[in-house]
Structure 1
Amino acid sequence: MDFQPTQEQRDLRSGVRALLARWYGREVLRAAVDAVDAPAAVLDRGLWRELGAAGFFALRLPEAAGGVGLGLAEAVLVFEEAGRALLPGPLVATHLAAGAVPGAAEGTAVVTAFDLGGGGGPGAPGAPGGALVAHLGEADAVLGSGVDPAVLLRTGEPVRSADPLTPLHRVPAPADGAEVAPYRDEGALLTAALQLGSALRTLELAVRHAKEREQFGQPIGGFQAVKHLCAGMLVRAELARTAVYAAAVTADPGEIAGAKLLADEAAGGNARDCLQVYGGMGFTWEADVHLHLKRAWLGAAQWRTAGEAEEVLAADLLATGGV
Structure 2
Amino acid sequence: MRFRLTDDQRTLRRGVREVLAKRFGRDALRAAVDSGTLDRGLWRELGRAGFFALRLPEADGGAGLGLPEAVLAFEEAGRVLLPGPLVATHLAAGRIPGAGRGEAVVSAVTGELVEWLDAADVVEGDATGAEPVRSVDPLTPLHRLPAGRARTTGTAQATGTAHATAGTGWADATDAVAVTAVLLTAAEQLGSAGRTTELAARYACDREQFGSPIGAFQAVKHLCADMLVRVEVARAAVYAAAVTGDPVDVAAAKLLADEAAVRGARDCLQVYGGMGFTWEADVHLHLKRAWVRAERGMTARAAEEVCAAGLRPDAAAHSE
Pair in the same fold by TM > 0.5:
yes
Q: CA deviation at 1:174?
A: 5.2
Q: State the match for 1:282 in structure 2.
A: 276
Q: CA deviation at 1:175?
A: 5.3
1:262 aligns with 2:259: no
Give the 5 Å matches for 1:106-185: 106-116=101-111, 131-143=112-124, 145=125, 147=126, 152=128, 155-172=129-146, 173=149, 176-177=152-153, 180-181=170-171, 182=175, 183-185=177-179
1:48-75 residue CA offsets vs partner (Å, 9 max, x unmatched) = 1001100000000011111110000000
Q: State the match for 2:234 in structure 1.
A: 240
1:141-190 residue CA offsets vs partner (Å, 9 max, x unmatched) = 123x3x5x6xx3xx221100000010001124355549512322100000
Give the 5 Å matches for 1:10-49: 10-36=10-36, 42-49=37-44
Unaligned stretches of 5+ in structure 1? 37-41, 117-130
Q: CA deviation at 1:115?
A: 2.1
Contact between 1:102 and 1:109, CA under 8 Å: does it hold in 2?
yes
What's the secondary structure of 2:55's corresponding residue? coil
Q: State the match for 2:216 in structure 1.
A: 222
Q: State the match for 2:46 in structure 1.
A: 51
Q: State the match for 1:123 in structure 2.
A: none
Contact between 2:72 and 2:187, CA under 8 Å: does it hold in 1?
yes
Contact between 2:270 and 2:276, CA under 8 Å: does it hold in 1?
yes
TM-score, scaled relative to structure 1: 0.88
Q: CA deviation at 1:34?
A: 2.5
The separation in 2 between residues aligned to 1:161 and 1:175, in whole angstroms, is 20
Flag the 1:175–1:286 CA change in 2: closer, same or farther, 3 A: closer
Unaligned stretches of 5+ in structure 2? 155-168
The separation in 2 between residues aligned to 1:56 and 1:220, in whole angstroms, is 39
Flag the 1:248–1:292 CA change in 2: closer, same or farther, 3 A: same
Q: CA deviation at 1:31?
A: 1.6
Flag the 1:217–1:176 CA change in 2: closer, same or farther, 3 A: closer
RMSD: 1.4
Contact between 2:110 and 2:151, CA under 8 Å: does it hold in 1?
no
What's the secondary structure of 1:113's corresponding residue? strand
Give the 5 Å matches for 1:204-219: 204-219=198-213
Contact between 2:200 and 2:268, CA under 8 Å: does it hold in 1?
yes
The separation in 2 between residues aligned to 1:185 and 1:176, in whole angstroms, is 15
Q: State the match for 1:121 in structure 2.
A: none
The separation in 2 between residues aligned to 1:164 and 1:88, in whole angstroms, is 10
The separation in 2 between residues aligned to 1:230 and 1:156, in whole angstroms, is 41
Aligned residues: percent identity?
67
Q: State the match for 2:57 in structure 1.
A: 62
Q: State the match for 2:316 in structure 1.
A: 320
Q: CA deviation at 1:16?
A: 0.2
